[in-house]
């Protein structure tokens, strides 16, 4: 089974995010990484092709720096990479991003597309299902386990109070939750081999997308600082327990 994995390159999740003068998230000159949230899906894809055969294509839309993210996916074991970079895509909203990814998926036959539940920096959590609907694929989100059964997938979806099991026809798109599995570290051999793997660089025009397709429909018009909450009281040692008890009593909960 051939699998496409969506891999986003995001500003370092441990860093402090900032907004530029244009009210867009500053992405250049910021240390970045493959979104850790995408590694879980990639790991499930690797396990799936190890059991059933097939190839994995890692696709990403992002600036030149995002090459490092695709390379990490290749080092983990993806077979080929596709990076879509285009100045027209700066500040792309969820629908534009979905159009780009859907067009990129269509370039190779795949029975399954895997993405993260939500990206670390954008966290709309809607891009993947929009991709699925644009392609006419079935979709299941927040998946924690999946297995191929004949032509269909059996997937476990995380819910508020437990999990649901779905039978999902292929071609399908699933989003994989963090914590679904333990992503592997790229081996030294993997890192060496990654350099030889096919990696395609595309623009929006290469995907047949027009200026109309790329028009974003959301503009930030105002940014204000939320009322800053002043730091409270800090205690340590023996006084701590008594102060917590006092606070609970003030709140009338004990």
Partner 1 sequence: MGAAWVYAEMVGGHVHESAAELLTIARSLGAEVAAIALGPGATDAAAELGAHGAATVYASDDEVFSGFAGGPQTFAVAGLIEEHRPSIVLFPGTYEGRDVAGRLQARTGSTLMANAIDVVGTDRARTEIFGGMKVVDVQLAGPEPHLVLVRPRSVTPARTDGTAQVVAVPAEIPEAERGARLLERHEEVASGPKLEEAKVVVSGGRGLGGPEAFAMLDALAEAIGGAAVGASRAAVDAGWVPYSYQIGQTGKTVKPEVYIAAGISGALQHIVGMKGAKRIVAINKDADAPILKMADLGVVGDVFQVIPALTEEIRRRTSS
Ligand X SMILES: Nc1ncnc2c1ncn2[C@@H]1O[C@H](COP(=O)(O)O)[C@@H](O)[C@H]1O
Give residues in contact with ligand FAD (CB under 6 A): 13, 37, 118, 120, 123
Q: Which residues contact 4 (CB under 8 A, 6 or more apart)?
A: 56, 57, 58, 59, 104, 105, 108, 110, 112, 113, 114
Question: Is the CB of 23 or the CB of 124 nearer to ligand X?
Answer: 124
Q: For residue 115, what are its two tokens?
A: 């993405």
| Shortest distance (Å) from residue 57 CB to ligand X | 12
Q: What is the H or E stretch that residue 115 is in? A: strand 112-116
Residue recorded with tokens 């297995």: 147
Contact of 197 with 75, CB cutoff 8 Å: no
Return the one option of partner 1, ligand FAD, ligand X, none that residue 205 interacts with (CB less than 5 to 8 A, by type): none
* Total of chain residues touching ligand X, rule CB under 6 A: 23
Q: Is the dihedral of CA 75, 117, 97, 2 positive or negative?
A: positive
What SS3 state is found at 17?
A: coil
Binding string to partner 1 for residues 28 to 47, with x set by CB under 8 A, is what?
--------------------
* Nearer residue to partner 1 within complex by CB, 189 or 252: 252
Which residues in the 69-128 window bind ligand X by CB under 6 A?
94, 97, 101, 115-116, 118-119, 122-128
56-61 vs 80-84, strand pairing mode: parallel
Q: Out of 87, 150, 159, 188, which residue is the one contacting partner 1 (CB under 8 A)?
A: 159
Q: How far apart are CA 184 and CA 39, in angstroms?
A: 8
**Which residue lies nearer to ligand X by CB, 153 or 177?**
177
Q: Which is nearer to partner 1, 53 or 230 (CB)?
A: 230
Identified binder of ligand X from the candidate list 4, 27, 34, 35, rule CB under 6 A: 35
Q: Which stretch binds ligand X (CB under 6 A): 58-66, 135-143, 180-188, 236-244?
A: 58-66
Report, in Å, the least distance between residue 71 CB and ligand FAD. 21
What is d(CA 117, CA 133) in angstroms, rounded to the nearest whole number? 16
Nearer to partner 1, 138 or 199 (CB): 138
Q: Which residues contact 108 (CB under 8 A, 6 or more apart)?
A: 2, 4, 57
Which residues would be at the binding site for ligand X (CB under 6 A)? 6-8, 35, 37-38, 60-62, 94, 97, 101, 115-116, 118-119, 122-128
């Amino acid at each position: 089974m051939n699998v496409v994995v969506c891999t986003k390159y995001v500003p370092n999740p441990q860093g402090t995010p900032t907004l530029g003068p244009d009210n867009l998230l500053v992405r250049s000159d910021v240390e970045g990484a493959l979104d850790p949230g995408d590694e879980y899906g990639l790991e499930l894809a690797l396990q799936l092709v190890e059991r059933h055969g097939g190839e994995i294509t890692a696709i990403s839309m992002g600036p030149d720096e995002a090459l490092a993210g695709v390379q990490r996916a290749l080092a983990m074991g993806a077979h080929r990479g596709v990076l879509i970079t285009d100045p027209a895509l700066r500040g792309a909203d969820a629908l534009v991003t979905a159009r780009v990814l859907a067009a990129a998926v269509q370039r190779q036959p795949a029975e399954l597309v895997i993405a993260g539940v939500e990206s670390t920096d954008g966290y709309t959590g809607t891009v993947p299902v929009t991709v699925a609907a644009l392609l006419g694929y079935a979709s299941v989100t927040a998946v924690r386990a999946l297995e191929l059964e004949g032509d269909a997938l059996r997937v476990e979806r995380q819910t508020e109070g437990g999990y649901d099991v779905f039978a999902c026809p292929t071609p399908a798109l699933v989003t994989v939750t963090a914590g679904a599995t333990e992503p592997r570290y790229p081996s030294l051999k993997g890192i060496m081999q990654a350099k030889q793997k096919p990696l395609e660089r595309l623009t929006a025009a290469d995907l047949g997308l027009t200026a109309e397709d790329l028009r974003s429909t959301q503009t930030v018009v105002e940014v204000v600082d939320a009322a800053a909450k002043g730091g409270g009281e800090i205690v340590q040692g023996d006084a701590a327990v008594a102060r917590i008890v006092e606070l609970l009593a003030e709140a009338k909960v004990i």
